[in-house]
Structure formats: C-alpha cells, structure tokens
Amino acid sequence: MTSYYEASARERLHALLDKDSFREFLPPTERVVSPHLVQLDTPAAFDDGVIVGRATLDGRPVLVAAQEGGFMGGAVGEVHGAKLVGLLERARDEKPAAVLLLVESGGVRLHEANAGLIGVSEIMRAVLALRSEGVPVLVLDGGQFGCFGGMGIVARLCDAIVMSEEGRLGLSGPEVIETTCGVEEFDSRDRALVWRTVGGKHRYLLGEADALVADDIAAFREAAIGLLDTTPDLSLAALAAEHERLGARLQKFGALRDALDIWSALGVAKPEKLPLLEADAFNAVVAGKRA
Amino acid sequence: MEKLTFEFFGGAPVNATCAPALVGVVGSGNLEVLIEPAALDGACAIEILTAARGFGETWRAVLDDFFARHKLADVRISINDVGATPAVVALRLDQAVEDFLGGEK
C-alpha cells in the first residue's frame, strides 16, 4: 500500500499508470518555467508544478495531468494552465479512452493574477469541449492540498471524481472562509470540522464525488479503471436533471448547520462514527444513503 | 534570488543514454534537482537558483562532498532551491544520482 496523500505528483503518476507507460510532454528538461515568478524574484519549477503526458491505464490509452501541491500549493499560473489546456485540446485530436486529472491545487496562482485566472477559464472551456466530443474527464483528488478555487470548479465540470477521505474539494478553502467570514463561521484549525465539511467522505455522501477510496494509489488506480467507460452527457436534459437534484438537496439540507446533521438526515444511524471508518467499512455503512 | 554556478572536473563520464531525472519539489525548505547528460568536455556543471542569498560557501562545501561521493562527468545538474538545509540538499543530490543511474529503489 502506497499513500496517495504522501506521494509527490510524479510518484503518483509512476504508481498509478501502467508500468513504464508514461511519456511526458514538455518535460522539466525543456525548462518551460513561469515568466512571472522570475520577475518577482521567486524560484520557479522546471515543470511549473504540473506534469502532463500520455500513458496507458489497464492497457488503454489515456492522457494524464498531475498537479504538484508542494510547488505553490499546486496553484495555476500561466504556463501551468497552458499545459493543462494543451493536454485537453490534444485529447480532442487523439480521442484517448479518458483524460485523468490528478488535481491538487488551491486554485489560481495569485502571483500571476489575470494570467492565472484566464488559464483557469480556458481549462474549464477545454474540459467542456472535450466532454462534448465524447471523451470522459476523470478527476482524482487525494493530495495534501486538496482541490479548491478555480480548480474546484474545474473538478465539478468533469465526468467523475474519485476521492479519499484525505482529499478535499471546495470553492473557498477553510482559511479563506475564516478570513472573510470570521472564525465563528468556520474555524480552519479545527481539523475534524474541516475534513467533515470539505473532505472526501462528505463530498461522496453529497453526491459530488463518485467514489470514496482508501488513501492508497492502487485503490485510486482501480477506481479510475472502473470509470474509463464513463460516457459524458452534456445534454440539456442531463443539465436540467442535475439542477433539479441540486435544488432538492438545498431544500432538504440547506438549513442544517453541520455535516453531522446532514449525515443524520441521510439516515446514517451513528454519524459521529463515520470519520473513524476505513473506506470499505464506510462504503458499507452508507450504501444507498447518498444524497 | 541568487544564481550560483560550480564546475567539477576529473569524474568519469556517465552513460549518455541515461534518462534525465527530476527529484524534489520547489517548496519551502525543499528543492528540485534536475540531472541530465550533457557534452561538457568532462565537466560536471551545477547551476543553482536559490531564494536564500549569501550561502555560496555553504553550497561549495556541500557540493565538494557530493562530488567526492559521485565523480560524474558530462553531467548537468540544475537546482531550484527555496532554502533547503545542507542535509536536505545532500540527500536530494544522492537521490537524483540514484534515479539517474537507474539505481535500486
């Protein structure tokens, strides 16, 4: 068992994909680094914090990207964003079985301001364009920095999300909420609160993540293989159904203050026990109870 | 930021077919080390971009030790550093060489 949470982006790719199948586009030796960070007198990374390339997964062709949270929180700068957009656009030509996004990002890299914002919007557009041509985009989220900001939106524009409990998914991260709304609203140092609000188990129960797996790269691999045959559906009917589902969810849970209240409303007998359960036991307890 | 460059001579050329290797991450107290074959007339060239200014002598000492452990020639090593300690630098360099030469993991 190899922890997905502890691994670097390169280590994740190495262990997740078929052995020795990964070929990197714009590898570090090309030195396509951020032009902005140098001007700010800040060290850049040779891959700008994202690794993109081609590989096989269970023998099937995939294009894949992995964000490195250790470099500036995986934030999307101009080069970083362009690599992701380029990969997604390439997929429209190559038509791989799927595109895998191993996300780990706080969102836009604030050092690069508008260039980063534009990058994120271009990623969103590219995800939707690719899905509309029938290629599924699958998200894996289990890194130390979670997936927030613009990348949180990107993740929810994709076909499916695989999370571990350790993974986190949201728009504003806990620190941002605390800073803007006060510690009474959200205490970002309360780790139990953070994880039961933005962590994988809650996202799975709310229906935002499609699979909850153990913090094990092999478990992420199995889940991704199982999703390779996902068929994107961007029809108006699918969109309307999704909006209906979200509306009903808001109606049902909107007044509740804590994830524990929601789990209770979903029919989980001992909601306070859920954070303690391993993935298998958790999945057994919540079977048929998701929102 | 400060840019430092070092050159070492007298090493043994590595197999030119060795694939470049990258280890480490550009994060606080950490560094990334990119190592690749290069035609350098027998030199081992090391270039560092570091956020911490004024530590040239410390880098020199760590890299002298490194070259004593690994006498490489025709190799280029490029480093992006965010204030890693000498011990971390030494470990990352060893890790890079191990990956580069296809050592056992």
Write the ipTM.
0.91
Interface size between A and B, measured as CB pairs under 8 A:
47
- A114-149 pLDDT, tens per residue? 999 999 999 999 999 999 999 999 999 999 999 999
- B81-102 pLDDT, tens per residue? 999 999 999 999 999 999 999 8
The CATH number for B61's domain is: 3.30.230
The pLDDT value recorded for residue B15 is 78
Q: Do B22 and A46 touch (CB under 8 A)?
A: yes
- B14-66 pLDDT, tens per residue? 877 889 999 999 999 999 999 999 999 999 999 999 999 999 999 999 999 99
The CATH number for A118's domain is: 3.90.226.10
Closest Cα in chain A, distance from residue B49 (Å): 7
Domain that residue A54 falls in = 9-169+209-232
**Contacts of residue B77, Cβ cutoff 8 Å, sequence gap at least 6:** B33, B34, B35, B44, B45, B46, B47, B93, B96
pLDDT tier at B13, thresholds 50, 70, 90:
confident
Does the residue A129 lie in any domain?
yes
Domain that residue B51 falls in = 2-100
pLDDT at A190 over 80: yes
The pLDDT value recorded for residue B14 is 83
pTM score: 0.95
Q: Which residues of A touch B81 (CB under 8 A)?
A: 43
pLDDT at B105 over 80: no
**How many domains are there within chain B?**
1
Query: From CA A51, how far away is CA A80, in angstroms rounded?
Result: 9
**How many domains are there within chain A?**
1
Query: From CA A171, how far away is CA A105, in angstroms rounded?
Result: 11
Nearest by CB to B80, from A10, A43, A68: name it: A43
